[in-house]
Amino acid sequence: MAVCLNCGKETDYCLCDECRSTVNIEDLCRRIVDYRPSNCENPLWNQIASEMAYMSDFRNAAFALADELPPPRREYWKILAFCGENANVQKYNRPWLYETYERIKDLDGLTRLELNRIKGMVLGALFMDYRYEDADLLAGELLEEDELPAQAYYNLADFYSKTRRYDEADDAMDAAARLYGAEHTDHLFGKIAESNRKYREKEAQGKQQYMPNPKENKDEVRKAYIDYLDSIGIEAEITVSSTSRSSIPKAIPRDQYPEPKEIRDVNFDSFVAYDLETTGFSPKTDAIIEIGAVKVCGGKVIESHEFVFQEFVRPYKKSVREEITQLTGITKDDVKDARQMWEVFPDFMKFVGDNVLVGYNNVKFDSRFLVRAGRYSNIIMQNPQFDVMKYADRFRTKLGFANENLSLETLSKKLGIENPEAHRALADAITTARVYLRLKEMDVSENMVVVDDILSDLDNW
Ligand SMILES: [Zn+2]
């Protein structure tokens, strides 16, 4: 500061010696703290401010000038100069703020509104430092007041909104609007009101609401937050995604994982038929949401529990879209507590053993998803894959499917096989097994027909 803020004369302080004895220091502090270049007619101040990098540099003049005042007026203006009207006190200023507040909170010399303005700032700072219990005590004190500065209402509303007490947040904003007029507070509280509304909406939908997102000590802070909510009777859970990300196993690189082996001979009648439900149609980017499988022994589909496998899978980095729910009946809720593919896959492979894996369009589709699950579970899958859709292609003429899409649904209908729950993994796996067995039967009888034809031809000789 090279000039006097009052008269513009060169000085090594923000006031020249002459002005220092005539000017009301406290009033000057107030005007400096309230100073905005946009609404100030003082060309001297605008000139000084325009040469500064930050507005906080301008307020530093009030911080320095406040030294001339007695406590607690001194601390009051220092706090306002330091923290500004901004409700968010900078991290490096907070220890000083707490210390100063403790020193002055019981002193005479501040109006109730002034003290509460500082309390509001301390409340905001405590919240940002994740000191929820301390913040709660202060919020309780502020709540007992009939009238608060707008800034304190702001801190209260923010605190209650982010600790999931949306009604209390609305109350604080309503009280401010009644006292100061909605045209002022709508602008000031706009962002909080909007988040409060969104969190409330998410709460109604059972979705994740506000959760602190600190750069350091993430788990610690979130646990403190959840514990605090728990202590005030609000149920909260740490989101699945936040806990799962840390436990993603190291995957076998794609180029080191063997391609699934396809077989075409139908020389087997013991196998595992399986089907996957997924978040979409791309084995590259979509994820498994359900695995269903059935063990077939000697051509018999056995539906007792030790011969079937069914488990939901929590999709990795994907969510269950509405279309998928409509197609499969599987909802977000069904998979939200399910295990990840790398947790389910080892159990699935135990169930499969060294059986042939029979699927429907599995060579191009399902087996690709299994490869990814195998990579993430560090299990090499060596089971051969047999694709019933490809097999069925041989029967097109016989079944009367010239150009139609050979879906499992149309094919099973044609063969008179009932699928009570199409597009659910286990039901589709069982249907696939039955279709395979039926086609194999036809295969054999077709060969018989050919023999009969030859014989009848021979008869005609
Ligand atoms: Zn002067």
Checking if the pLDDT of 108 tops 50, the result is: yes
Separation of 14 CA from ligand 1 center, angstroms? 8
| Residue 367 host element (H or E) | helix 366-377
pLDDT over 80 at 88, yes or no: no
Cα separation of 295 and 428, whole Å?
A: 13
Distance from the CA of 451 to the center of ligand 1, in angstroms?
118
The pTM assigned to this predicted structure is 0.53
For 426-461, the pLDDT digits (tens) are 999 999 999 999 999 887 665 544 444 444 444 433
pLDDT of residue 117: 94
CA of 34 to the centre of ligand 1 (A): 20
Cβ-contact 273, 296 below 8 angstroms: yes
pLDDT confidence of residue 374? 95
Q: How far is the CA of 36 from the centre of ligand 1 (A)?
A: 21
**What pLDDT was estimated at residue 353?**
93
C-alpha of residue 7 to centroid of ligand 1, in Å: 4
Kindly give the distance from the C-alpha atom of residue 51 to the centroid of ligand 1, in angstroms, as a whole number. Answer: 19
Portions of the chain given CATH number 1.25.40: 23-223
> Of 328, 369, 327, 326, nearest to 348 (Cα)?
369
Four-residue CA torsion sign, 197, 202, 203, 208: negative
Q: How far is the CA of 83 from the centre of ligand 1 (A)?
A: 26
> 386: which strand partners?
358
Q: How far is the CA of 5 from the centre of ligand 1 (A)?
A: 7
CA of 45 to the centre of ligand 1 (A): 13
pLDDT tens-digit profile of 157-172? 999 999 999 999 999 9
Cα-only R_g, the chain: 36
Distance 104 CA to ligand 1 centre (A): 31
Name which residue leads in pLDDT, 34 or 271. 271
Terminal C-alpha separation, the chain: 121
Amino acid at 191: K
pLDDT one-digit tens code per residue, 266-313: 989 899 999 999 999 888 888 999 999 999 998 988 878 788 999 999
Distance from residue 6's CA to the centre of ligand 1 (Å): 5
Cα 96 from Cα 122, distance rounded (Å): 11
- DSSP code at position 106: T
146 alpha carbon to ligand 1 midpoint, in Å?
42
Q: How many angstroms is it from 11 CA to the middle of ligand 1?
A: 8
Tokens found for residue 189: 């509280």
DSSP for 266-314? ---S-EEEEEEEESSS-TTT--EEEEEEEEEETTEE--SGGGEEEEEBP
Let me know: does 176 contact 112? Beta carbons within 8 Å.
no
CATH of 260-448, one of 2.60.200.20, 3.40.640.10, 3.30.420.10, 2.60.120.10: 3.30.420.10
Q: Ligand 1 center to residue 58 CA distance, Å?
A: 17
Query: Which two tokens mark 236?
Result: 């909260």
CA 76 – ligand 1 centroid, Å: 24
DSSP 415-446: TT---TTTTSHHHHHHHHHHHHHHHHHHHHHH
Residue 263, token pair as written in the block? 């077989």
**Alpha carbon of 22 to ligand 1 centroid (Å):** 9
Q: Give me the residues paired with residue 292 across strands.
A: 275, 310
Phi, psi dihedrals of residue 207, rounded to the nearest 5°: -100, 170
Ligand 1 center to residue 79 CA distance, Å?
25
109 CB-side CA count, 13 A: 14
How far is the centre of ligand 1, averaged over its atoms, from the C-alpha of 54 (Å)? 23
Q: How far apart are CA 289 and CA 339, in angstroms?
A: 10
Ligand 1 centroid vs 141 CA: distance in angstroms?
42
Place of tokens 């008269």: 7
Distance 21 CA to ligand 1 centre (A): 10
Distance 156 CA to ligand 1 centre (A): 41
- Average pLDDT on 366-393 reads 94
Contact 152, 116 (CB under 8 A): yes
CA 227, CA 448: separation in Å to the nearest integer?
73
Q: Is the pLDDT of residue 246 over 70?
A: no
* Structural contact between residues 226 and 132, judged by C-beta atoms closer than 8 angstroms: no
Angle between helices 341-352 and 366-377 (to 10 degrees): 110
- How far, in Å, from the CA of 85 to the mean position of ligand 1? 27
pLDDT band at residue 82, thresholds of 50, 70 and 90?
confident
Which DSSP helix (H) or strand (E) runs through 385? strand 385-387
Q: Which part of the chain has CATH 3.30.420.10?
A: 260-448
* Ligand 1 midpoint to CA 12 (Å): 11
- CA 82 to ligand 1 center in whole angstroms: 24
Average pLDDT over every residue of 4-27 = 91
Neighbouring residues of 260: CB distance < 8 A, sequence distance ≥ 6 = 363, 367, 370, 371, 381, 383, 384, 385
* Domain at 23-223: CATH architecture: Alpha Horseshoe (1.25)
Q: How far is the CA of 9 from the centre of ligand 1 (A)?
A: 6
**How many angstroms does the Cα of residue 38 sit away from the middle of ligand 1?**
24
> Strand 288-297 and strand 300-301: pairing?
antiparallel
Distance 1 CA to ligand 1 centre (A): 12
How many angstroms separate the alpha carbon of residue 394 from the centre of ligand 1? 101
300-301 and 308-312 as β-strands: parallel, antiparallel, unpaired?
unpaired
Q: How far is the CA of 301 from the centre of ligand 1 (A)?
A: 99
Q: Please give the distance of CA 412 from its chain centroid, rounded to a whole number.
A: 40
Rama region for 413: left / alpha / beta (φ>0; ψ in -120 to 50; rest): alpha
Residue 85 has pLDDT above 80, yes or no: no
Distance 3 CA to ligand 1 centre (A): 8
User: Percentage of the chain surpassing pLDDT 90?
Assistant: 54
pLDDT bin (cut points 50, 70, 90) of residue 192 is very high
Ligand 1 centroid to Cα of residue 262, in Å, is 91
What 3-state DSSP class applies to 359?
strand
In angstroms, the CA 436 to CA 272 distance is: 11
Q: Ligand 1 centroid vs 17 CA: distance in angstroms?
A: 7
Looking at residue 73, its pLDDT comes to: 97
